[in-house]
Amino acid sequence: MTAHLPILQVLIPLMAAPLCVVFRHRDIAWIIVLLVSLISFVISTMILDQVLTQGVISYFMGDWPAPWGIEFRIDAVNAYILLIVSAIGAVVAFYGRHSVTREVPRDLIYLFYTAFLLCLTGLLGMTATGDAFNLFVFLEISSLSTYAMISLGKDRRALTASYQYLIMGTLGATFYVIGLGLLYMMTGTLNIVDLHAKLLDMDGSIRTLQAALAFLTVGLSLKLALFPLHLWLPNAYTYAPSSVTAFLAATATKVAVYVMLRVFFTIFGVDIFEETGLAPVLMTLAIAGMFVASTVAIFQNDMKRLLAYSSVAQIGYIMLGISFLNVTGVSAGIVHLLNHAVMKCAAFLAMGCFMYRVGSVQIEDLHGIGKKMPWTMAAFVVAGLSLIGVPLTVGFISKWYLIQAAMEADMMPIALLILLSSLLAVVYVWRFIEVAYFKEPANPSLKIKEAPLSMLIPLWVMAGASIYFGVDTDMTLGVAQLAAEMLVGGAP
């Protein structure tokens, strides 16, 4: 059965999703989700192991060979992303039971879990597939289920947030297809490796190819919320149910970044940057995002919105790393994919705990919460320190390598900008920590208990991971460097 691992990774959540609808019961649906996400996680570790020991895995759908049929092609880059997505999926599934019961209408819970599984399917499929059009299909599966999940939030504004994301997300997906259509017109193939081979013989200055690159870049920038195309993100993250926010913040934008890496480095190859001058544009937008989004975050009173803006800033760090175009920079970007996923997931899971006990994540409602919910708050502090980039947390590792990459590329001012933007993170993280520990609660008579254990354990798994991977970087950085060498080296 190990030969079928790549398809099982995607197929199991896909087939489990309709099962949830057949049973029409929220507890059974949750058990299915938990089992499936754990199985997915195990499969993704097996795939990563197989890739690291035996090299690239290729799987042909229906035994139709590669450029004609659909191929699932897994190398170090997507094996690593698969692991991130499925690990976050498993943690959020475990966490979800209480949080979802509280935040999603009762009779829609089984449909919520169906949408969750479909979203997992879509994200894993986007990552595993080696066919650029098949990737679009999975992108749509994940996007549509995401809109549904966001709209299930308790606040009525969740509906408009979801609609806003639907419009922006559809624009992004359409741009992706237009770009892909232009590439198909030029090459006659949709297989990613084959596309690269066909494009090698072509002159990069052909107008059609440049238009294709432009459409792909803008479309994917919308999906990954690169500043200034991030406008759908704050509302979507704020009004979605907490476990959805934690899941999306850690996976959806990350997978979009992965697709962008594939488009830039595997389909077009590094040389396209020299021919088009795209790198300085990306770098400028990334740095602008780091500063503008962090500054906006400082002035937010809703913690979920604050963290959402912080996400936009962190996407800036990832794109900054990629835009250096050297191995250190790209591996810093890739390692920050995991690091940011871990810390932002922890931060949003903590928000979910506050939502569960307090019923709000407005800063003024959380005065003195550090004494009432010490464990949740401590986990948030770990995640917050990591957002700042304090040594011994994952955030430090990412920033360390980003600064190294900046120096390697002889861009000292950018290294300074990275440090400066970290100071902004200090401000918005500290603002909440100060209120939570040193302010007296507005309503001291209110009895607030610590979050239930089934939510604390996943929260601390993520908080623990953001310390563990900050100390022991062999695994994360090792794979990221391998992946970066493959991408920048141009070997498909």
Partner 1 sequence: MMKRKPILRVTSKVFMPFILLFALYVQFHGDFGPGGGFQAGVIFASSFILYALIFGLHDAKMVMPSSVLEVLAALGVLLYAGVGVVSFFVGDNYLNYNSLAHDPLHGQHYGILLVELGVGVTVFAAMTLIFYTFAGRGR
Query: Nearer to partner 1 by C-beta: 111 or 327?
Result: 111
Cα 469 to Cα 467: distance, rounded to the nearest angstrom: 6
DSSP string, 444-475: TT---PPPPHHHHHHHHHHHHHHHHHHH--HH
Which span (10-18, 161-169, 197-205, 245-253) binds partner 1, by CB under 8 A? 10-18
Query: Nearer to partner 1 by C-beta: 4 or 371?
Result: 4
Size of the site for partner 1 (CB under 8 A): 17
Q: Does 467 bind partner 1 (CB under 8 A)?
A: no
Query: Nearer to partner 1 by C-beta: 105 or 374?
Result: 105
Q: Does 390 bind partner 1 (CB under 8 A)?
A: no
Q: Does 18 bind partner 1 (CB under 8 A)?
A: yes
Q: Does 17 bind partner 1 (CB under 8 A)?
A: yes
Q: Does 11 bind partner 1 (CB under 8 A)?
A: yes
Instruction: Find where tokens 């004609």 sit.
Output: 68
Query: Nearer to partner 1 by C-beta: 12 or 229?
Result: 12
Give Cβ neighbours of residue 142 (< 8 Å, ≥ 6 apart).
Answer: 118, 119, 121, 122, 123, 125, 126, 252, 255
Query: Nearer to partner 1 by C-beta: 28 or 52?
Result: 28
CA 293 to centroid of chain Cα atoms? 17
CA 38 to centroid of chain Cα atoms? 19
Nearest to 132 by CA among 65, 182, 166, 202: 182
Supply the angle between the helices 412-438 and 303-323 in degrees, to the nearest 10. 160
Q: How far is the CB of 17 from partner 1 (least distance, A)?
A: 8
In which region does residue 55 sit, left (phi positive, over 0), alpha (psi from -120 to 50) or beta (all else)? left
Instruction: Find where tokens 């649906």 sit.
Output: 29
Residue 171-200 contact track with partner 1, rule CB under 8 A, x = bound: ------------------------------
Token pair, residue 465, equals 């991971």
Q: Does 14 bind partner 1 (CB under 8 A)?
A: yes
Among 31, 38, 45, 60, binds partner 1 (CB under 8 A): 60
Contact 10, 73 (CB under 8 A): no
Give Cβ neighbours of residue 419 (< 8 Å, ≥ 6 apart).
Answer: 399, 403
Q: How far is the CB of 25 from partner 1 (least distance, A)?
A: 12
Contact 145, 116 (CB under 8 A): yes
Query: Nearer to partner 1 by C-beta: 163 or 375?
Result: 163
Which span (19-27, 264-272, 356-364, 464-472) binds partner 1, by CB under 8 A? 19-27
Q: Does 65 bind partner 1 (CB under 8 A)?
A: no
CA 102 to centroid of chain Cα atoms? 25
Q: Does 63 bind partner 1 (CB under 8 A)?
A: yes
Return phi, psi of residue 60, to 5°: -100, 125
Which span (1-9, 133-141, 307-315, 322-330) binds partner 1, by CB under 8 A? 1-9
Q: Does 7 bind partner 1 (CB under 8 A)?
A: yes
Q: Name residue 471's amino acid.
A: V
**Interface with partner 1 in residues 20-39 (CB under 8 A):** 21-22, 24
The binding site for partner 1 (CB under 8 A) comprises 1, 4, 7, 11, 14-15, 17-19, 21-22, 24, 59-63
